[in-house]
C-alpha cells in the first residue's frame, strides 16, 4: 500500500469517525429532547382533561367520552384512560398514529423512548371523582427523528465525499514531488541523470528534493569523472598521442587476438612506410614532419570509416599498420589497393614530394603467429620498395590453397546458404565468474557455412556477406535458427543466447519489421534472446540502437555491446543506451596478469558498468592467470578456450555443464 493510500485511508477513517460520532450524539440528544417533549405533552393533556372533566355534571359518561375522544382524535396520544372512584373506566388506545411506518423497524428497535404515563386526579372541590392517565404516541417522534437523521446522514455523506475529493487533490498535489523523486531514482537505474526543476514550497519536501538533486549531480559527476579517467587511460595505454591511432602495443594486441582468437580469422594485414621520412623531417623541420604524419593518420581514419571493422595503428615514425577482415586473396588485394588509393589521392599525393609503399599479406586459418604475420607483410613491403614509385604489393604465399571464389560465385554460394538453410551454429558458453560451480550466464552464437565439404567461419565469409548486402538476411536466418533450436531443445537454465548483429542490420527498417514478426512467432523463446552489436557501431547508429531496443524490449529481448574497449567512442554511451550487458574485447583480456596498467583499465570499465547496473563480461580468455585477474577485478562472466571450445548444439552445452558439476 502506498503512502498516499495510507494517508487517504487514515484521513477517511478519521472523518468517518467524527461524522459518525456527531450523528450518534445528534440521535441521542434528539431522542432525549423528543422524550421530554412527549412526556410534557402527556402531562399537560392529562391536566387539561382533568380540569375539563371536573365541570361535567354528575360525571356524565357520554360527556366524559366526548371529551376524551376530542383529545384522542388529535392523534398525538397512544392511550387515554379515565378511572372513576367506583372502578368504572373509559379508555381509548391506538397502536399507530400514522398510516405508514414512521421509520424503519431497525431504527425503531435501536432508538427507544422511555415514555411515562401522566396521571391527574379529577376533583370537584375537595372530593376526588376519578383519575385520568394519558400516554403520548411515539410515531410522530420517530417520523421527525428519522427525517432528521436522514437529512444529517445525507449532509454527512456529502461532506465526506467532498472531503475525500479535496483530500485526493491535496495529496496528489503534495505527493507530486515524492513521485518525481521516485521517477528520478528509477531514472538513475536507467542511466538517466534527471534534475528536478520544480522545487516544492513545503520545507520538508523542498529539502528532500534538493537533497535528491544534489545526489544525482554528485553521481553524474562521479560517473563522468571516472569515465573520463578511463578514456584517458585508454588513450595513454593503447593510442598514439600524435595521431590518435592505435600505438604499436594496441595494434599488435588487437591483431594477436584476431590471429589467436577462438574463431577462424580471415583478413589482410598491411604495412605502410613513407620513404626517406627522416631526411624530410630534417630538411623541412619537425613541425612539417608532424603535419605529414597527422595527414596520413587522417587519411587512414577516413579509410577506416568506410571499413569500420578494420584496425589502424602507427608503429613508429612514418610506419603504419592496418588490418581489415576479408574473405579471399582477391578481396584482400582490393582492400590493399583501396587503402593505397586513399593515401595516393590525399595525404601522400605527388605534390607532397613524398614517396610511400604498402605491403600486405592475406591471413587465413585457425591460428597464426603475430611475428610470422608481420614478417610476411614486411617482406611484401620490401618488395614494393624495390620500385622507385609508390607501389602496393600483396605477399605471394608459397603454399597451395583452395581455389578462390569470384564475386559472382560468392554471391551464389551465400544465396544458396540462405535458400537451403545451410547455416550451422555453434555456442560458446559464458560462465559466471564467481562461485565454485560452473553456472551458465550466456551462450555466444558463432555461425558457419559449408563450402566443398569444408566448414567456413563467419570471419571468412562475413566480409562477402556485407559486400553483397546480405547482412540483414543472414542475421534474421541466425535468429530464426536459434528460435527453432530453443523450441526443440529448451534450455534448463535461464541463460541468454547472444547473437551479434551487423551494423547494416541495425539501420535497416525492413530488418526491424522481420525481427518483430519473428519474435511474435516465437514469444516464449524470445525471452532467452540477447542482441549485441560491436562498440564501433555506436558512433554512427546510436539513434537506431535506441529504436531497436524500444522495439524488442517489450518482448523480453535485451541489448548488449560487444568488443568494448576497442572503439574510439566515449564510454558515456553506456548510460544513454538501454543496455543489459557489455562484453570487454578479448584483446584486452589476453595477458592481463602481465600488464598492471591494463588491469587498471579493465577494473575501471567494470566499475563503470556496475555503477550503471550493467552486466560486465569478458571473452577470449585462455589461461588461468587471466581468469583469476578478471575474477578479482569483479567481472560477472567469462568465456574462452580456458573453459571450452564452442559446442554444436544446446544439448552439448547442457551435458558439458552436468559433467563439470559432477
User: In whole angstroms, what is the distance from residue 131 CA to residue 46 CA?
Assistant: 9
Is 535 a residue whose pLDDT tops 80? yes
Is 46 a residue whose pLDDT tops 60? yes
User: In whole angstroms, what is the distance from residue 417 CA to residue 551 CA?
Assistant: 28
Q: What pLDDT, on a 0 to 100 scale, did the predictor assign at position 398?
A: 55
What is the 8-class DSSP label of residue 351? Answer: G
More confident residue, 369 or 1: 369
Helix axes 458-467, 407-420, angle to 10 degrees: 100
Mean pLDDT of the chain: 85
Element (H, E) at 237: helix 203-238
Is residue 8 very low, low, confident or very high in pLDDT (cuts 50, 70, 90)? confident
Q: Which of 151-155, 480-484, 495-499 has the lowest mean pLDDT?
A: 151-155
Q: Please give the average per-residue pLDDT across 91-111, as a whole number.
A: 75
pLDDT tens readout for residues 187-202:
766 667 778 777 877 7
Q: Is residue 309 a contact partner of residue 536, using CB atoms and an 8 Å limit?
A: yes
Q: Please give the average per-residue pLDDT across 247-259, as a whole number.
A: 90
Q: Please give the average per-residue pLDDT across 556-574, as a whole number.
A: 87
Q: What pLDDT, on a 0 to 100 scale, did the predictor assign at position 296?
A: 92
Q: Which residues pair with 427 in a beta bridge?
A: 445, 647
pLDDT tens readout for residues 289-316:
889 999 999 999 999 888 888 999 999 8
Is residue 400 very low, low, confident or very high in pLDDT (cuts 50, 70, 90)? very low
CA torsion sign for 459, 465, 469, 471 is negative
Q: Please give the average per-residue pLDDT across 544-548, as a whole number.
A: 93
**Grid coordinates representing 280?**
624530410
**Grid coordinates representing 210?**
534538493
Pairing of the two strands 558-564 and 581-584: parallel
Q: Is residue 501 a contact partner of residue 309, using CB atoms and an 8 Å limit?
A: no
**Secondary structure (DSSP) of 301-335:** HHHHHHSTT-EEEEEETTEEEEEEE-SSHHHHHHH
Torsion of CA 501, 502, 503, 508, to 10 degrees: -80
Q: What pLDDT, on a 0 to 100 scale, did the predictor assign at position 470?
A: 93
**Grid coordinates representing 223?**
560517473
Q: Is residue 196 a contact partner of residue 212, using CB atoms and an 8 Å limit?
A: yes
Sheet-wide strand order for 391-394: 311-316, 319-325, 265-274, 356-365, 391-394
Question: How would you write 182-232 as a 3-class SS string?
Answer: HHHHHHHHCCCCCCCCCCCCCHHHHHHHHHHHHHHHHHHHHHHHHHHHHHH
Q: Is residue 120 a contact partner of residue 132, using CB atoms and an 8 Å limit?
A: yes
pTM: predicted TM-score of the whole model, two decimal places: 0.71
User: In whole angstroms, what is the distance from residue 269 CA to residue 271 CA?
Assistant: 7
Amino acid at each position: 500500500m502506498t503512502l498516499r493510500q495510507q494517508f487517504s485511508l487514515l484521513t477517511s477513517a478519521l472523518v468517518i469517525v467524527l461524522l459518525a460520532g456527531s450523528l450518534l450524539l445528534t440521535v441521542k440528544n434528539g431522542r432525549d429532547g423528543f422524550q421530554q417533549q412527549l412526556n410534557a405533552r402527556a402531562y399537560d393533556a392529562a391536566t387539561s382533561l382533568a380540569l375539563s372533566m371536573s365541570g361535567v355534571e354528575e360525571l356524565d359518561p357520554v360527556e366524559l367520552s366526548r371529551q376524551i375522544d376530542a383529545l384522542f382524535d388529535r392523534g398525538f396520544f397512544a392511550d387515554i384512560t379515565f378511572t372513576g372512584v367506583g372502578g368504572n373506566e373509559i379508555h381509548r388506545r391506538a397502536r399507530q398514529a400514522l398510516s405508514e411506518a414512521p421509520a424503519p423497524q431497525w431504527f425503531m428497535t435501536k432508538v427507544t423512548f422511555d415514555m411515562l404515563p401522566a396521571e391527574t386526579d379529577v376533583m370537584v372541590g375537595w372530593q376526588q371523582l376519578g383519575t385520568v392517565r394519558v400516554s403520548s404516541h411515539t410515531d410522530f417522534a420517530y417520523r421527525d427523528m428519522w427525517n432528521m437523521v436522514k437529512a444529517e446522514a445525507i449532509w454527512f455523506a456529502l461532506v465526506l465525499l467532498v472531503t475525500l475529493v479535496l483530500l485526493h487533490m491535496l495529496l496528489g498535489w503534495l505527493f507530486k514531488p515524492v513521485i518525481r523523486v521516485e521517477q528520478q531514482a528509477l531514472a538513475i537505474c536507467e542511466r538517466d541523470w534527471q534534475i528536478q526543476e520544480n522545487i516544492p514550497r513545503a520545507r520538508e519536501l523542498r529539502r528532500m528534493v534538493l537533497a535528491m538533486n544534489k545526489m544525482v549531480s554528485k553521481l553524474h559527476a562521479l560517473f563522468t569523472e571516472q569515465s573520463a579517467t578511463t578514456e584517458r587511460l585508454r588513450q595513454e595505454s593503447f593510442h598514439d598521442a600524435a595521431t590518435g591511432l592505435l600505438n604499436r602495443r594496441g595494434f599488435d594486441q588487437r591483431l594477436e587476438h584476431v590471429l589467436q582468437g577462438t574463431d577462424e580469422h580471415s583478413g589482410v594485414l598491411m604495412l605502410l612506410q613513407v620513404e626517406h621520412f627522416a631526411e624530410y623531417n630534417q630538411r623541412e623541420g619537425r613541425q612539417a614532419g608532424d603535419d605529414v604524419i597527422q595527414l596520413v593518420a587522417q587519411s587512414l581514419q577516413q579509410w577506416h570509416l568506410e571499413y569500420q571493422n578494420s584496425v589502424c595503428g602507427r608503429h613508429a615514425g612514418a610506419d603504419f599498420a592496418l588490418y581489415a577482415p576479408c574473405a579471399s586473396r582477391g578481396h584482400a588485394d582490393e582492400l590493399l589497393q583501396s587503402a593505397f588509393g586513399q593515401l595516393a589521392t590525399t595525404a601522400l599525393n605527388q605534390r607532397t614530394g613524398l614517396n610511400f609503399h604498402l605491403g600486405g599479406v592475406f591471413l587465413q586459418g585457425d591460428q597464426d603467429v603475430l611475428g610470422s604475420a608481420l614478417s610476411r607483410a614486411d617482406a611484401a613491403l620490401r618488395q614494393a620498395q624495390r620500385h622507385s614509385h609508390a607501389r602496393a604489393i600483396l605477399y605471394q604465399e608459397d603454399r597451395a590453397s583452395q581455389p578462390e571464389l569470384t564475386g559472382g560465385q560468392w554471391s551464389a554460394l551465400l544465396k544458396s546458404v540462405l535458400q537451403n538453410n545451410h547455416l550451422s551454429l555453434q555456442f560458446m558458453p559464458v560462465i559466471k565468474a564467481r562461485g565454485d560451480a560452473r553456472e551458465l550466464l550466456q551462450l555466444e552464437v558463432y555461425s558457419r557455412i559449408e563450402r566443398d565439404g569444408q566448414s567456413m567461419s563467419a570471419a571468412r565469409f562475413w566480409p562477402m556477406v556485407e559486400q553483397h548486402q546480405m547482412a540483414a538476411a543472414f542475421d534474421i536466418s541466425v535468429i530464426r535458427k536459434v528460435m527453432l533450436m530453443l523450441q526443440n531443445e529448451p534450455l534448463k537454465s535461464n541463460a541468454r543466447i547472444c547473437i551479434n548483429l551487423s551494423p547494416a542490420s541495425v539501420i535497416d527498417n525492413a530488418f526491424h519489421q522481420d525481427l518483430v514478426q519473428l519474435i511474435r512467432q516465437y514469444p516464449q523463446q524470445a525471452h532467452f534472446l540477447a542482441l549485441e552489436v560491436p562498440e564501433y557501431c555506436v558512433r554512427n547508429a546510436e539513434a537506431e540502437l535506441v529504436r531497436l531496443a524500444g522495439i524488442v524490449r517489450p518482448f523480453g529481448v535485451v541489448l548488449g555491446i560487444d568488443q568494448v574497449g576497442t572503439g574510439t567512442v566515449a564510454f558515456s554511451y553506456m548510460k544513454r543506451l538501454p543496455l543489459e550487458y557489455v562484453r570487454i574485447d578479448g584483446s584486452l583480456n589476453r595477458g592481463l596478469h602481465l600488464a598492471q596498467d591494463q588491469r587498471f583499465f579493465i577494473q575501471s570499465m567494470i566499475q563503470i558498468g556496475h555503477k550503471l547496473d550493467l552486466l560486465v563480461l569478458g571473452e577470449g580468455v585462455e589461461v588461468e592467470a587471466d581468469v583469476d585477474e578478471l575474477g578479482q577485478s569483479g567481472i560477472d562472466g567469462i568465456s574462452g578456450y580456458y573453459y571450452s571450445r564452442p559446442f554444436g548444439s544446446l544439448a552439448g552445452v547442457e551435458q558439458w555443464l552436468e559433467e563439470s558439476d559432477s
